Structure 1
Amino acid sequence: MRTRTTNIPLSVLDLSPIRHGHGPAEALANTVELARAIEAYGYHRFWISEHHNTTAMASSATSIMIGRVAAATERIRVGAGGVMLPNHAPYVVAEQFGTLAAYHPGRIDLGLGRAPGTDPWTTRALRRDHKGGLDFPEQVAELRGYLAPGDGKGKVRAIPGEGSDVPVYILGSSTFGAALAAREGLPFVHASHFSPDRLDEALERYRAEYRPSAAHPEPYAIVAANAVVADTEKEAVRTFSTLRQKFLTHFRGEMRILPPVDDIDRVWAPQEAQMVNAMLRESFVGTPDTVRAGLEDLAERTGADELMIVSEAWDFATRLRSYELLARTWNL
């Protein structure tokens, strides 16, 4: 009998972090190098997030980054984790991802979210007819219509895009996205790497309300988690302080990617520690055996069909090493 570690695929979500004092060019180059390594390590897919107006992340032009990463790799699935659909015209997204699928057949994924991925002012700049994401279900339906096979008679056709049937995934951190994914018979991805509070509730609703579709006769749940793996517990905890400081600086008003510290308790106040640790509750930090056990427990608790891993570090080589160690212990 195969173990759970060989049954559950592992994938990677990359936010293209920009180190404080450095520029986006370094972050974008690292994303491409990371994708090549992730493919070599045997991970299932490599997704790129969408964020705007932040000096901490370079992942704003998601579809362009996906094209660059897909061209630099050969086999791994590459996708959006995700496109924040209310920021975009569904028709344009269909053309973009139809084009990506034409260049890289069978390798492109399209994760869709309704959050802005930015602050209220930038949201207004992105969404000229801002509806607060309330029309997200209608946007998803419109986009999927453009990607579906057509009869050649439609007045508005996405070319490329029509007939590509790019796989669509619904992203969310609440029951809203879970219910939509269930109703449409689509895979659901929970953003528990930074918003774990409603993980169990969302997955329960997703499975209870799931309507089988032709492409997905069974529900498929992907659970995101942070993982930092190192040769020693001390090294892993120190590396993890960079992610903790990222959320700490977010609470303080300006998100930053900062060097690791030996004692995080010297950096934050008790109330700040409580807030950050609550957001990062689904984080697994330590040696390969420790992290593997934690992720196995997460998969068991949630019944996840796949785990999406985020591993952040100040030093890029340390980040690569974390993913490499995890791949080895997971038997990828």
Structure 2
Amino acid sequence: MTVPLSILDLSPISEGADAATALRNTVDLARHAERWGFSRYWVAEHHFVAVAGSSPAVLIGHIASATERIHVGAAAVQLGHTTAVATVESFGILDAFHPGRIDLGVGRSGQRRREANDDRKPPPPARRTEWLEIDGVVVPAPFDIRTLMRNPVLKARMGVLQQPEAKTPDFATQVDDILAMLDGTFTADGHETHVVPGERAPLRPWVFGSSKGQSAEVAGSRGLPFVASYHITPATALDAVEAYRNAFRPSAALPEPYVVVSADVLVADDHDTAVHLASSFGRWVYAIRAEGGAVPYPDPDSFEPLSPEQAEAVRDRTATQFVGDPDEVAHRLDALRRVTDADELVITSVTHDHADRLRSHRLIAERWGIG
């Protein structure tokens, strides 16, 4: 069974390049993705690091203007750093210019960081320590994100993404507000309030999540599509899919669950070339986890190798990156599709050289048969 294939792009800045080049590369890849048959082109939201996609709505507008048919969306708007009304208004503008092509992805990333920093919360239950393999899909032991979230550099940076003393509503409340704003039933302190543009726009939130927690429950209980991030949290993505399906209640927009699962992918003409191009991936992930955020993507010909201890700290990500020739990667993608019963897969690929990233996407598109 072949399911649709989509792209998630971080607009990564390569070593020796700059943000402007990364953004031009994103638009170039989107143009190619449309020709190659990809269904959607998602852009991420990150701040203060060497990826250029810090403002999804702005970038989506440029991509949609440079393409004709492909859906373009946010993966995802971090609701912990903004408001429901700002989100609906900005995506309402995008839909007005590109009707029917805009996908509104939302996530609770900013809220999760604040919760991890809250020392008043009880400690989480003991974490699974063993690695599993389910029908060809590697499910590693969970990475403890609490250490990352308590990094003082990260805490300081996250603090400037909101107005001083601002308090973010609960994620479920924000999603409910977005739904009410879109369907014209929103009230503010009991007063009928209409969001223009945005109201009655054919937008449907896509909820992005990483575990069996609130995001999966909100997506399921509201009858919304759910995107599980196997590429970031391979240890808990399958649990997230199960929790979403268990919580699902049909909605007017979605009578049955719709599951999308992400994967890190790097394809080359042959296995050895792919392995070489992916060799600096672990160094990049280590910087994200231990050095305050993503650094310019290292050149595989000249990067500093990780120590054994550093390599172990990112083994869950390197072991779950799908690297190889088109047949090898397609086989692993199909296993992920089969195990999760995904309705759609989304791939994210990072390389130092833009030409290698283009080739990776073209090769898997041809092998997957979406063109």
Asked if Structure 1 and Structure 2 have the same fold, meaning a TM-score greater than 0.5 normalized by the shorter chain, the answer is yes
* Other-structure match for 1:41: 36
* Other-structure match for 2:97: 103
Letter matched to residue 90 of structure 1: A
1:194 Cα deviation after fit? 1.5
1:195 Cα deviation after fit? 1.1
Letter matched to residue 103 of structure 1: F
Aligned-partner Cα distance in 1 for 2:162–2:326: 43
* Other-structure match for 1:57: 51
* Other-structure match for 1:148: 183
Normalised TM-score (structure 1)? 0.92
Match of 1:260 among 286, 294, 300: 300
Note if contact 2:270-2:324 (Cα within 8 Å) is conserved in structure 1: yes
Aligned-partner Cα distance in 1 for 2:237–2:256: 19
Describe the shift of the 1:134–1:238 C-alpha distance in structure 2 as closer, same or farther (beyond 3 A).
farther
1:155 Cα deviation after fit? 4.2
* Other-structure match for 1:29: 24
* Other-structure match for 2:172: 137
Aligned-partner Cα distance in 2 for 1:280–1:173: 18
Note if contact 1:149-1:165 (Cα within 8 Å) is conserved in structure 2: no
Note if contact 2:262-2:348 (Cα within 8 Å) is conserved in structure 1: yes
* Other-structure match for 2:73: 79
What's the C-alpha RMSD, in Å, of the aligned pairs?
Answer: 2.0
Aligned-partner Cα distance in 2 for 1:134–1:172: 18
**How big is each residue's C-alpha offset from its partner over 1:190-227, in whole Å with a ceiling of 9 and x where there is no partner?**
11112111112111111122111111110011100011
1:318 aligns with 2:356: yes
1:166 Cα deviation after fit? 0.7
Describe the shift of the 1:107–1:154 C-alpha distance in structure 2 as closer, same or farther (beyond 3 A).
farther
1:282 aligns with 2:348: no
* Other-structure match for 2:262: 224
1:269 aligns with 2:307: yes
Aligned-partner Cα distance in 1 for 2:169–2:199: 26
* Other-structure match for 2:345: 307
> How many pairs align?
323
Letter matched to residue 12 of structure 1: I
After superposition, residues 149-164 of structure 1 pair within 5 angstroms as 149=184, 155-164=192-201
Aligned-partner Cα distance in 2 for 1:79–1:231: 30
Q: Which of 119-128 and 89-98 deviates more?
A: 119-128
Question: 3-state DSSP class of the match of 2:41?
Answer: strand
Describe the shift of the 1:207–1:322 C-alpha distance in structure 2 as closer, same or farther (beyond 3 A).
same
Aligned-partner Cα distance in 1 for 2:245–2:288: 33
For structure 1, the residue ranges without an aligned partner over 5 or more in a row are none
1:134 Cα deviation after fit? 6.4
Letter matched to residue 157 of structure 1: H
After superposition, residues 288-299 of structure 1 pair within 5 angstroms as 288-299=326-337
Question: 3-state DSSP class of the match of 2:336?
Answer: helix
Q: Which of 57-66 and 233-242 deviates more?
A: 233-242
**How big is each residue's C-alpha offset from its partner over 1:44-78, in whole Å with a ceiling of 9 and x where there is no partner?**
00000000111x10011110000000000000000
* Other-structure match for 2:157: 122
Letter matched to residue 33 of structure 1: D
Aligned-partner Cα distance in 2 for 1:144–1:282: 35
Aligned-partner Cα distance in 1 for 2:186–2:179: 15
1:127 Cα deviation after fit? 2.2
Aligned-partner Cα distance in 1 for 2:166–2:311: 34
For structure 2, the residue ranges without an aligned partner over 5 or more in a row are 114-148
1:198 aligns with 2:236: yes
* Other-structure match for 2:122: none
* Other-structure match for 2:366: 328
Aligned-partner Cα distance in 2 for 1:281–1:145: 42
Q: Which of 139-148 and 79-88 deviates more?
A: 139-148
Aligned-partner Cα distance in 1 for 2:184–2:342: 31
Match of 1:167 among 190, 204, 207: 204
Aligned-partner Cα distance in 1 for 2:105–2:319: 23
Normalised TM-score (structure 2)? 0.83
Letter matched to residue 298 of structure 2: L
